[in-house]
Chain A
Amino acid sequence: MNDWIEIGKLDDIPRRGARCIQTGSGRIAIFRTAEDRIFAIDDRCPHKGGPLSQGIVHGSQVTCPLHNWVFSLDTGLAQGADEGGVRTYSLQLHGDRILIDAQSLTALSAA
């Protein structure tokens, strides 16, 4: 059974932008698209560790600020010719409250 924890409000994140949440073992980037869809992925590019939360958000993709890898926020997979991916996390939007599956936090810390 899932346990959902509130991490913030929708308006805490700018449209076409991201904020991070700190966990015991790294940062998770929470994205908000132009259409107010929200996504959560690891804030770490598998290529050279770039902070994906700092990238430019376009559609439901983000471009890494260090070397321009592009990731799908939905699947976490690198787009185009690059290969690799980042972990994604489930989010829920209740009104303007963003919730994350607490298990994903504990699973992360256990890993």
Chain B
Amino acid sequence: MTGKLVVIGAGMASGRMLEHLFEADTRRFDVTLFGAEPRGNYNRIMLSPVLAGEKRYDDIVTHDADWYAAQGVNCRFGQTVTKIDRQAKTVFAGGVETPYDRLVIATGSAPFILPVPGKDLAGVRAFRDLDDVDAMVAASEKPDAKAVVIGGGLLGLEAAAALRGRGMDVVVLHLAGHLMERQLDPAAGYLLQRELEGRGIRIHCKAHTRAVLGTDGVEAVALEDGTVYPADLVVMAAGIRPETRLATDAGIEVGRGIVVDDAMRTSDADILALGECAEHNKTVYGLVAPLYDMAKVAAQTLLGQDAVFRPVQTATKLKVTGVSLYSAGDFAEAEDREEIVLRDAASGVYKRVIIKENRILGTVLYGDTEDGNWFFDLLKRGTDIGQMRDTLIYGQSFSTGAPTDPLAAMAALPEEAEICGCNGVCKGAITSAISSKGLTSLDDVRAHTKASASCGSCTGLVEKLLMATLGDSYNPAAIQPMCPCTELGHDEVRRLIVAKGLKSIPAAMQELGWKTSCGCAKCRPALNYYMVATWPGEAEDDGQSRFINERVHANIQKDGTYSVVPRMFGGLTTAAELRAIADVADKFEVKTVKVTGGQRIDLLGIKKEDLPAVWADLNKAGMMSGAAYAKGLRTVKTCVGSDWCRFGTQDSTGLGVRIEKFMWGSWTPAKLKLAVSGCPRNCAEATCKDIGVICVDSGYEIHFGGAAGLDIKGTEVLCHARSEDEALEIIAALTQLYREQGRYLERIYKWAKRVGSDSIKANVVADPGKRRQLYERFVYSQKFAQVDPWEERVNGKDAHEFAAMADFQMMQAAE
């Protein structure tokens, strides 16, 4: 028998409930899902990282359109339910009636907007959904933009840090005497305040907001004490209240939230409520773990099973990159309680454990939160800590004599130890799922147990569990670290460089917790590329972090000599250039002169100390470096095209020269080789290049992602361009996207395979606005890139590279 199930609210709680429902029985209900936002379920906890630019919206989608389609859910996103008719058992949305047998209200909560004058001005936002995030990002893009965040709780501080990271001037107004007073004691609140102030965020505690000022839009915020903070954006993060209006109007019992029993039933047995809008046992919940428990209970109730909601204690972490903060339980002072405190001011560590009768009641950790889960586990289990009282505060490895090796420490954790606080998943559930279901990756564990699938802060623990359970067979391919100096993968490093505005290699190593003092030969060149590509004109190119070829602008050979390749735009040369090359070959006794695959001339066997003199001669004849050594633009190969060829459809040579003159000097993740063929006979072999152009009568076919090296692969067609100008813009935009997304040493075809050609086309072809922006970023970076490195060195740059420091050959010959 199928019944009609209507769900109001497409958030995290109802999403989880539907998952449980469909796992158990896919055909039991015809489901209609209403959501006020014009999109499906996403991980709302992760809006802060999206605001900070550390994640994208796509990364936090929990259920995409395919999922809803596969489950047969009738989605009514962007439609607000305005009325429930309990007699007729229908709901109304946009004038349309939808009947139900069972109804679930999961309307969540609405942000609490301070009832002050000016609260409705344009520029006042809550921090609740993706639209708010988009509005805040847009506000931050204005030069010298100022933000006032009202509320110094979890949400407000995450917003403040993210907006500051986007370059805004940020003031946080907080009513209480210290930040996050519900989760932190004053000492930890102070440390947090100091850290945030160190990042340039202004904190004003005991702030009573009087009014938001402005005429057409927000201009400032005024406090009762007379202070006025100018503002282009005001973020209201002063709390939330359950969204209960529908239930109230329908005559369902409502207290602070919609009152539910242990089975999540409201006062109307056919109507359930769950999530932030529900009130259970006089308590309303806002953290994700109890909401997920509610979802499970609600699904069981709908399936006719007995289930009881019992709230568990939850711990809190702040998701601000670079701030480690953990709190759990009750940490208020009282006469019958003792506390153990550890402070290390120099390293900014504060740990406090509150104890009553040898049992932990609560804990607050700042700076070093590694033992948070251990304390929390002791708390939940009510363990008698009398035996280890003296060493408790130093953490698990010290107190239990457990080894400091993190894997061994993981193995020593009890089976019931909670790993994922968001989803309430314990160690035993994860290890048994790994063993019984043959899980081998982080994504597998996320899919089967939900551990690490919400806020992600336990990802490291889950990975250690995978290692401890699978041993050497665990291959954490999901996030391959850049090198042994870090645990971060290339993509995370790039994202953080952008999000945190890291503009030098030492800054990146410091902020991202590099494990070595000065990196290695793998990460330094990668970081240097990311700096140069991300911050043109700002980050300094660090020669000592470049591979020797890019440091001395020639190609090292097996005997330690170098080869020199002058640039010939589009493969064109002249008699004068050839004469100059011949003269250089004679003068420096060049052993081998060879024509390359990219239509250039290679002079091999040149001694390093001769390089500047060779370049000087080539410069004099008007030639510059051909960058034959660069992870950057190498060559644009051409055929003779319509100038000479009887089949040529366009001026392929001219276009090739134009592209190369436009693009030379640019650094890319790996080498970049182009070609332009004047007709589909393709004499320039454009269809195995990184980017290729095939001229046709109607214009230009742009290809990309070919390979003819270790791998052989034909190109894929990107699009058709009608004019040379359009072709040039598309090629530059494609190159810029690759520059921004490619991992160091990743050729364009591998990048395309990884990100998918659809996403490339979406940026470069389908959206002319995005293409133009990419193009303009490329043009901007070229301002700093188009300097001939040979000429610089002929004029004395890096002279130390090309001469010995001292010569003792004569002295010894004399002895």
Contacts and interface: CB of A to CB of B under 8 A. Distances in A.
Q: Indicate whether A and B interact.
A: yes
Interface of A: 5, 7-8, 12-17, 19-24, 27, 30, 33-35, 48-51, 54-59, 61, 63, 65-66, 68, 70, 105-106, 109
Contacts of B519: 58
Nearest to B517: A59
Contacts of B560: 49-51, 54
B808 interface: yes
Contact of A65 (B545, B556, B812, B815): B556
Interface string B365-382: 000000000000000000
A24 B812 contact: yes
Nearest to B549: A65
Nearest to A56: B521
A59 B516 contact: yes
Contacts of B548: 54-56, 65
Nearest to A14: B544
16 contacts: A14-B543, A19-B800, A19-B804, A21-B804, A22-B806, A24-B808, A35-B517, A49-B558, A54-B552, A55-B521, A56-B546, A58-B521, A58-B524, A59-B516, A70-B521, A109-B815
Contacts of B516: 58-59
Given A48-B558, A49-B560, A56-B525, A106 B518 contact: no
Select the residue from B547, B804, B813 with max chain A CB neighbours within 10 A: B804
Contacts of B478: none
Given A16-B544, A56-B521, A56-B547, 19 more contacts: A13-B805, A16-B545, A19-B800, A19-B804, A20-B805, A21-B804, A23-B808, A33-B518, A35-B517, A49-B559, A56-B525, A56-B544, A56-B545, A58-B518, A58-B524, A59-B517, A63-B520, A105-B811, A109-B812
Contact of B808 (A14, A59, A61, A105): A105
Contact of A14 (B800, B809, B811, B813): B800
A106 B811 CA distance: 10
Interface of B: 516-521, 524-525, 543-548, 552, 556, 558-560, 800, 804-809, 811-813, 815
Contact of A22 (B517, B546, B809): B809
Contact of B544 (A15, A19, A23, A50): A15
A22 B811 CA distance: 11
Nearest to A51: B560
B806 A106 contact: no
Contacts of A5: 808
Nearest to B803: A19
Contact of A21 (B517, B521, B544, B807): B807
Given A7-B805, A65-B556, A34 B518 contact: yes
A20 B524 contact: no
A56 B523 CA distance: 11
Nearest to A27: B804
Contacts of A34: 517-518
- Ranked 7 nearest A-B pairs via Cβ: A63-B521, A19-B805, A24-B812, A16-B544, A56-B521, A54-B548, A51-B560
Contacts of A48: 558
A37 B670 CA distance: 33
Nearest to B520: A58
Contact of A20 (B518, B552, B804): B804
Contact of B800 (A13, A16, A57, A68): A13
B809 A24 contact: yes
Contacts of B520: 56, 58-59, 61, 63
Contacts of A23: 808-809, 812
Nearest to A108: B812
Given A13-B800, A48-B558, A68-B521, A57 B809 contact: no
B813 to A, nearest CB: 6
Given A51-B560, A56-B545, A65-B556, A12 B525 contact: no
A17 B516 CA distance: 18
